[in-house]
Amino acid sequence: MKRPFFLTAVCFIAVIVLTIGYGYAEIGEGVVGSQQERMDEGGMVMGKDGGTEMAYGFPHPFFNHMGIPDMPGMVSARITGYRQGYSGEDSAGDYGFHLEAGIYNRLGLHVRNNAIKQSSRTDVMLMYAVLQDAEAESGVSVFGGALIPSGTIPEGQDDVVGAFGVAGRKVFKDIAIFDGNVHYMPEMKMVELGLSGIFKATDSMFPIIEVSGELTEDETIFYLLPALKFKLKPEVFLGVGSQIALTSDRELDRKSTRLNSSHTDISRMPSSA
């Protein structure tokens, strides 16, 4: 499957997500009012310009996904550019994206590919929050989906690979947010792990620590990503970071974002929803 089809599929999914989001703008005033109260109490905060930001002004994680879905109608896009390679060798550039959207109460959609040039599959999944606190800030979710072709699949491999797992989020008010998730892909006999901590240093600066891992029958790989995100406005964050290998088994020694090709985190909700 070629790249043009992949780009068309991503655009099609984006249109669907945006259509769903803006559909919430047509909800009656009574429903909008109750949603506004819920947002003000915890999970999300709506700004005067109609934009939204996460509870207490926090950004989304860097590469990791959130442990619970976004609010209904909220759309978040993370765009990342980076260079990576082995120590002592020339590095190569790549880029990725992560689209998240709240499509219904407790239900969210995730579409992501963190290595578009190298990865032949894109992750598409639905997440449902089975447990949430009263403010819809912290909770536990289950998710399921598939890695669909977005490039040339090596001969002998399945085109579509199923994936499912569990995720969680814990918010410590105005101090920190922790997200964790476990993916299992039976066809690939692989388990992926992700854990992120976002800390609030100031109202506009957020240190981030992420640990990611891949476990297969043949190898165990773990990476550490220290990063910083800066709030440019309530809906827009800019981040920089450097990922390093923690294990002798590794795909790459280092993955670094640059200031001129960095991580952008944009969240948006219709102004009347």
Span 230-255, pLDDT tens digits: 999 878 899 998 888 888 765 554 45
Q: What is the pLDDT of residues 75-90, one digit of tens each?
A: 888 988 887 766 666 6
pLDDT at 259: 31
Does 164 or 115 have the greater pLDDT score?
164
* Cα–Cα distance, 147 to 82 (Å, whole number): 22
Can you give the pTM of this predicted structure? 0.76
Residue 102's nearest CA partner among 146, 57, 54 is 54
Query: Tokens standing for 46?
Result: 């709506």
Tell me: pLDDT of 91 over 50. yes
Q: Is 136 left (phi over 0), alpha (psi -120 to 50) or beta?
A: left
The residue ranking higher by pLDDT, 135 or 113, is: 113
Closest to 63 (Cα-Cα) out of 257, 268, 259: 257
Mean pLDDT over each residue of the chain, to the nearest integer: 77
Query: When comparing pLDDT for 63 and 38, which is higher?
Result: 63
3-state secondary structure of 86: coil
Other Cβ atoms less than 10 A from the Cβ of 251: the count is 14
Q: Residue type at 86? A: Y
Of 52 and 26, which is predicted with more confidence? Answer: 52
DSSP label of 25: G
Tokens of 74: 């909220």
Q: Which residue is it, tokens 């765009």?
A: 79
Task: Round to whole Å and give the CA distance between 73 and 245.
Answer: 37
pLDDT digits (tens, 9 = 90+) for 5-36: 445 455 545 544 444 444 444 433 333 444 44
Buried b (16+ CB within 10 A) or exposed e, 122-137: bbbbbbebeebeeebb
Q: Average pLDDT in the 187-202 region?
A: 94
What is the rounded average pLDDT of the residues 91-105?
A: 88
β 263-268/254-257 pair status: unpaired
Residues 181 and 64 sit within 8 Å (Cβ to Cβ): yes
- pLDDT, position 84: 75
DSSP conformational letter for 69: P
Question: Residue 41 in 3-state DSSP?
Answer: helix
Say which residue, 91 or 68, is predicted with more confidence. 68
Distance CA 238, CA 262 (A): 7
Q: What is the pLDDT of residue 86?
A: 64
